[in-house]
Structure 1
Amino acid sequence: MRSSPPPRRLVIGISGASGAQIGVRLLEACRALDIETHLVISKAGEITLTQETRHSVAEVKALASHIYKAGDIGAAIASGSFATMGMIVAPCSVRSMSEIATGVTSSLLTRAADVCLKERRRLILAVRETPFHTGHLRTMTQLSEMGAIIAPPIPAFYTRPQTVAEMVDQFTGHLLALMGFDNSLAREWTGLRDG
């Protein structure tokens, strides 16, 4: 049994849901915090990246410490023996969420997430869909009961964001904080102001 804490190693998944900028910002923030990142992008995620951001897929991959192809089921992150602090899937599509919930995984992204669940590591899913129907909600409940954290990318309006970038930073900082990484991206609530 491992007695020392796991290395500052984080798996990041980018699926095909809208919100690709969150995954990009997460990689940038991890690099600045000296967190080793292991990136897997689904095929749909690659399409969304080029549609929603100014980044090429190659530019985004260059932000990661290690990259894997979505079909590489023999990758290090597909095994529980490869120690990580956990995984963040941002954004997380309903399809990816559903595969993770059932354990019937068809890609490295969903397999790596399944590994986090079976090894009792932190798994954060930034599920990007709205509105949710009852099936989505039941799947999220099932994942929460299995140990995952469901964190839809909902803006924190108390920060009075002026740009989309500010909203992305706030949410990215929150994801990192949920994973246990101190960061300065998210502004914390300090209470009501008088007047």
Structure 2
Amino acid sequence: MNAQDPHKQAEQYFTTSPSSADVRHEMHVTLRGHEADVETSNGVFSGGRVDLGTSVLLRHAPMPPAHGDFLDIGCGWGAISLALALESPEASVYAIDVNERAIELTEHNAELNGCTNIHAGEAADVPEGLEFELIWSNPPIRIGKQELHTLLMTWLPRLAPDGYAYLVVQKNLGSDSLMRWLAQALPDTFTVAKYASSKGYRVIEVHRLP
């Protein structure tokens, strides 16, 4: 994103209705080898590009299963959800965000690229009790530690048995301490490990044992 005051940045893409003007921009992106045409806008996370953390996650995360229910926590304009949907067209991808503009953009970008398997919405739109074979996320670290912990502990326990989550977190924003916290906070039916490191980011793997 363009350099700006971080508090203003947070107000924009962590609020339900961004105060900035909804000015759409067209981009052509490559997501894990899949070409996609997308629209982005102001007031959503990394509205001008595929951000570095997401790029690291998409480059290093393993091939997703062909089938199952997948989750993208904090979908923004939909880069991770599109990558999952294009890799696994027979899977169902749930893309969630608090930002109405982000949800609308993800829905629109799914339609633009023929991804009928993306279901974008708020957390409340995810079917109650649904478990996920896969979770990918560039989680919103800047919402604050307590809010982040609450968010992750809402969704990570909903991994299906033998399900995996891959989270990308910048090292200087606490990836290693988050990894240690997850290992303590999750039940002993889960394992937490560093999966990859690149460009100042860690990819954290969370596995729910079978």
* TM-score of the pair, normalised by structure 2: 0.43
More contact order relative to length (CA 8 Å, sep ≥ 6): 1
Normalized per residue, the structure richer in strand is 2
Normalized per residue, the structure richer in helix is 1
